[in-house]
Structure 1
Amino acid sequence: MKTKLNLIVGAAALLWAGAGMAQEVVVKIGHVAPTSGGQAHYGKDNENGARLAVEDLNAKGVTVGGKKVKFELVAEDDAADAKQGTAVAQKLCDMKVAAVVGHLNSGVTIPASKIYSECGLPMITPSATNPKLTQNGYKNIYRILANDNALGAGLAFYASGTLGAKTAAVIDDRTGYGQPLAEIFKKTAEAKGIKIVAHEYTNDKATDFTAILTSIKSKKPDVIFYGGMDPQAGPMLRQMEQLGMSNVKFLGGDGICTTEIVKLSGGAKTIENVTCAEGGASIQKMPGGTAWKARYDAKYPGQFQVYSPYSYDATMVIADAMQRAGSTDPKVFGPEIAKSNYKGVTTQVQFDGSGELKVPAMTFIVFRDGKKSPLN
């Protein structure tokens, strides 16, 4: 009789456990960034931030609509290429992930955002800063840091006010990120009375800038503004030193605000002339930045670049919207993202009607002793 009773109790326990397991819902969140090629260090950093968020959510045991949720990160590589990026976007739509954190580059994010909008997937970019992203009228498209209008204009004000620059040369890489950023700087600088003595062009695969820099050198600018990423900015700084341009200040957006640029410059002293702007508070001034980065560094030593705190917050904002909506269905929780008032690592996340942050921050960065140092 006792054995029979034990069997009944055991069977009931198994049924109960099975019922509990059946209640667990697997929710897939996509992440896309270049994890191969010259910008892989950015992409991996972004992916690390999203992955850390997923691990934290699963450790908390999040429930949505009364059901326990297990989050999974579906990480994809777009190689910083628009064609590959749109193919990945369609793949994530077909996989029916719940939402997407990404992409890294504006030139990839903008065409991908059209696909996400058409298939009804919410997308939050932690790093694409071209203002056009949120001006296309696509639904469920958000940006979790300041855009290039703020960064380009801010750097022009810095050049005029802090540096007292009278002349400037502009170089851009003709990408969806670098070109508009450079144009905004140029327009604002001219309005502030700075004379633009040259505007040169390169691309995001180039490594030799000797001809461009030699031409610029003859025009003796006080500052050079570069619209592009660090795989080009690093060699550019090294070649500036070789050409005897060590007295020229070098400005750029968040694309050059990485620890990697120090290595890419080959130890050139011109790194000390760099001032770049990031679309958010410095890690030290983020609400949860210092503690969060200590955890990040412990898990991913030596990999921090710029955007991982934003990809972390983007993932958390998506999960928060699900919890408030009581659903993991993008059609149901997607509109809740627009109503977010989430206390993140980076800031209090609230979006305006276009999907931009309501109160974006900006930080100027310099490099001292080979390390990033915030000025504000």
Structure 2
Amino acid sequence: MLFKTKLIPFAIALAFAGSANAQEVIKIGHVAPVSGASSHLGKDNENGAKMAVEDLNAKGFKINGKPVKFVLVLEDDAADPKQGTAVAQKLVDAKVNGVIGHLNSGTTVPASKIYFDAGIPQISPAATTPQYTKQRFNTAFRVVANDNKLGGTLGAYAVQKLAAKKIAVIDDRTAYGQGVAEEFVKGAKKSLPGVQIVGKEFTNANATDFNAILTTIKAKNPDLIFFGGMDSVAGPMLRQMKALGIKAKFMGGDGACTEMLPKLASDSIGDDLVTCAEAGGVTPDQQKNLDDFQARYQKKYNSPVLLYAPYVYDAVMTMAAAMAEAKSAEPAKYLPFLAKIKYQGVTGPIAFDANGDIKDGSLTLFTYKGGKKTKMEVVK
């Protein structure tokens, strides 16, 4: 008994010594749809977050001179607003230091209120609806251009470069799909007041049969069809357009502008048939950084970057840089530094305006040739 009582104080002393030397753990929440129709895009985002955290830990990242350990807390919102708010609350309850996500506008907006109420900084790497930052939550940021720029630029391009005069519009009724379609129409009308919007149809984010709406559109003989939605819907839509003999050009926003689209569309994505845009882009002087990232990603995951993994990577790194500048990972302390951050990422320089939108956001226009996504130009 005497032997045991002598060991107890020694064990306690060891425990205290260990805790004193332990690294601070910083929890970063990441949310994306890793189940459902957009799960391939959600996993792409998740992989980008994993790469960032692994890189931070590998280089012994320090805050206020002390090494810290980053841990990812991964959640799946299934692109569903209700699930999105549920996992947002789960992250708040887990006391994460910051959140990267969500991917879809429809989940990002309702979740942002929960993070704001908890004072937790959130950087979306993909949500493009203007509504996200119009709420003026000081915790909400994004590293890509919004739909005002994305849809408006595509609308102008459709009439100026593709010479479209009769346009049909389809959206998937999500916050993202409707929003980008509306901005596309505004951009087209502004650039060519006489342009005819010959039809406005809608589907849903899980639809696979578009024969009814495409038959209606075919009768109106449009030059171009614009679709606001994701690649999982755009692919089958392109197949059915070909089956119906519709010769119109096809245009989509960033949700459809993926490396997976040719596979989803099968043999229905002829050269230069599709024009789309990513809500981000690098100028030639930045291209090597992005190329290097994409090569690392390919080697690590045996898969190409599908869409927003580089922006997720930069979002994590930007958040970490703000913590370093603030000398603290406490949300209330590093939030003001995040609002004023100037970070050089693999996707280019990152700084935010007063609303939390990225300053001087770029777009990259793409087409498809030989079944491959092919860059056309970067638009500032």
TM bucket by the smaller chain?
over 0.9
| Alignment map for 1:310-325 (pairs within 5 Å) | 310-325=311-326
Matched, 1:276 2:276: yes
Q: Which moved more, 1:81-90 or 1:186-195?
A: 186-195
| Alignment map for 1:179-218 (pairs within 5 Å) | 179-191=178-190, 192-193=192-193, 194-218=195-219
1:238-297 CA-to-partner distances (Å, cap 9, x unmatched) read 00000011x210001000011111111122144741100111115975461011111111
SS of the residue corresponding to residue 254 of structure 1 reads: coil
Residue pair 1:253, 1:276 contacting (<8 A) in 2 also = yes
SS of the residue corresponding to residue 173 of structure 2 reads: coil
C-alpha root-mean-square deviation of aligned residues, in Å? Answer: 1.9
**Counterpart residue identity of residue 330, structure 1:** P
Q: CA deviation at 1:23?
A: 4.3
| Alignment map for 1:229-308 (pairs within 5 Å) | 229-245=230-246, 247-270=247-270, 272-281=272-281, 285-286=286-287, 288-308=289-309
Aligned to 2:116: 117
Residue pair 1:23, 1:67 contacting (<8 A) in 2 also = no
Q: CA deviation at 1:190?
A: 2.0
SS of the residue corresponding to residue 27 of structure 2 reads: strand
C-alpha distance in 2 between matches for 1:126 and 1:161 = 29
Q: Which moved more, 1:95-104 or 1:19-28?
A: 19-28
Q: CA deviation at 1:18?
A: 5.0
Residue pair 2:270, 2:371 contacting (<8 A) in 1 also = no
Q: CA deviation at 1:22?
A: 2.0
Q: CA deviation at 1:113?
A: 0.3
C-alpha distance in 2 between matches for 1:269 and 1:45 = 23
Runs (4+) off by over 6 Å: none
C-alpha distance in 2 between matches for 1:282 and 1:162 = 21
Aligned to 1:99: 98
| Alignment map for 1:37-186 (pairs within 5 Å) | 37-186=36-185
Count of residues in correspondence between the two structures:
363
Q: Which moved more, 1:261-270 or 1:105-114?
A: 261-270
Q: CA deviation at 1:83?
A: 0.2
Residue pair 2:282, 2:362 contacting (<8 A) in 1 also = no
**Structure 2 unmatched ranges of 5 or more:** 1-9
Q: CA deviation at 1:66?
A: 2.5
C-alpha distance in 2 between matches for 1:41 and 1:309 = 15
C-alpha distance in 1 between matches for 2:17 and 2:366 = 54
C-alpha distance in 2 between matches for 1:170 and 1:270 = 20
Residue pair 1:223, 1:248 contacting (<8 A) in 2 also = yes
The normalised TM-score by structure 1 is 0.93
Aligned to 1:222: 223
SS of the residue corresponding to residue 69 of structure 2 reads: strand
C-alpha distance in 1 between matches for 2:283 and 2:78 = 27
Alpha-carbon distance change, 47 to 269 in structure 1, aligned in 2, over 3 angstroms: closer
C-alpha distance in 2 between matches for 1:207 and 1:283 = 37
Q: CA deviation at 1:21?
A: 6.7
Residue pair 1:23, 1:68 contacting (<8 A) in 2 also = no
Residue pair 2:279, 2:363 contacting (<8 A) in 1 also = yes
Aligned to 1:346: 347
C-alpha distance in 1 between matches for 2:343 and 2:242 = 45
C-alpha distance in 2 between matches for 1:21 and 1:359 = 44
Alpha-carbon distance change, 117 to 371 in structure 1, aligned in 2, over 3 angstroms: same
C-alpha distance in 2 between matches for 1:53 and 1:20 = 26
Matched, 1:365 2:373: no
Residue pair 2:27, 2:97 contacting (<8 A) in 1 also = yes
Aligned to 2:5: none
**Counterpart residue identity of residue 54, structure 1:** V
Q: CA deviation at 1:140?
A: 1.1
**Structure 1 unmatched ranges of 5 or more:** 1-10
Residue pair 1:237, 1:271 contacting (<8 A) in 2 also = no
C-alpha distance in 1 between matches for 2:264 and 2:54 = 32
SS of the residue corresponding to residue 25 of structure 2 reads: strand
C-alpha distance in 2 between matches for 1:282 and 1:331 = 32
Residue pair 1:106, 1:129 contacting (<8 A) in 2 also = yes
The normalised TM-score by structure 2 is 0.92
C-alpha distance in 1 between matches for 2:346 and 2:114 = 29
C-alpha distance in 1 between matches for 2:184 and 2:168 = 11
